């Protein structure tokens, strides 16, 4: 009997705790969406559905930043390789020894630049040095809501909101897929 009472209390606490978290999320999202706008009542703003959809950890952030760095680096390398090809084309057409020497020098410098870029590592990860890879940076909350702009019909939208781990700040949103 004692165990049943403890189980009931534990279930009750978990149920109340989840509602509190959802209330915090709802308040933060509502504030984010209606900032500088009409009041919640004027727009008939209603949250229809709200649930956690995932988290962004330090490891996720590092992977994203590293991938973006790699993409940017490849784009720069491709542009420099194009300049190298142009120099090689001009070298093939050059007749004066001074032009040939200039293009050969340019091609060597460009090749060195390409090699240097290929060995370049991301430098925008310094803030993560002392962080645990599993630390949560953001909670992703999917929110389906409706609102009625003045003089228009009701609009229903679903977005993923990126909130601080405690749910008190909204960093941004993306349309849910």
> What is the predicted pLDDT for the residue at 39?
62
The domain in which residue 48 lies consists of 2-57+134-175
Task: Report pLDDT for 61.
Answer: 92
Residue 58 phi, psi dihedral angles, 5° rounding: -60, -40
Q: Give pLDDT, residue 70.
A: 94
Asked whether residue 115 falls in the same domain as residue 65, the answer is yes
Same domain for 16 and 47?
yes
Structural contact between residues 67 and 55, judged by C-beta atoms closer than 8 angstroms? no
**104/158 same-domain check:** no
| Number of helical H runs and strand E runs in the chain | 3, 4
52 and 65, same domain (yes or no)? no
What pLDDT is stored for residue 121 in this prediction? 87
- Is the same domain home to 10 and 48? yes
* Shared domain check, 117 and 144: no
Please tell me the total count of domains within the chain.
2
Do 26 and 39 have their domain in common?
yes
Which residue ranges in the chain fall short of pLDDT 70?
1-19, 36-41
Q: Of 174, 176, 167, which Cα lies nearest the Cα of 30? A: 167
Q: Do residues 115 and 170 share a domain?
A: no
pLDDT tens for residues 1-51? 343 333 333 333 344 444 577 889 999 998 898 876 656 667 788 899 999
Question: Alpha-carbon distance 142 to 25, whole Å?
Answer: 10
The closest alpha carbon to 138, from 70, 72, 55, belongs to: 55
**Same domain for 101 and 65?**
yes
Q: Look at residue 153 in the predicted model and tell me its pLDDT.
A: 87
């Amino acid at each position: 009997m004692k165990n049943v009472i403890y189980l009931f209390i534990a279930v009750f606490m978990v149920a109340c705790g989840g509602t509190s978290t959802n209330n915090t999320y709802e308040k933060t999202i509502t504030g984010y969406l209606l900032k500088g706008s009409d009041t919640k009542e004027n727009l008939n703003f209603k949250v229809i559905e709200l649930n956690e959809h995932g988290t962004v950890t330090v490891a996720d952030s590092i992977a994203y930043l590293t991938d973006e760095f790699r993409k940017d680096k490849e784009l720069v390398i491709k542009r420099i390789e194009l300049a190298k090809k142009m120099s090689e084309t001009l070298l093939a057409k050059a007749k004066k020894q001074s032009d040939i020497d200039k293009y050969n020098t340019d091609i060597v410098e460009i090749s060195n630049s390409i090699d240097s870029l290929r060995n370049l590592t991301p430098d925008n990860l310094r803030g993560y040095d002392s962080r645990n890879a599993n630390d949560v940076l953001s909670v992703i909350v999917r929110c389906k809501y409706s609102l009625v702009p003045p003089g228009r019909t009701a609009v229903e939208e679903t977005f993923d909101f990126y909130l601080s781990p405690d749910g008190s700040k909204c960093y941004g949103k993306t349309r849910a897929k």
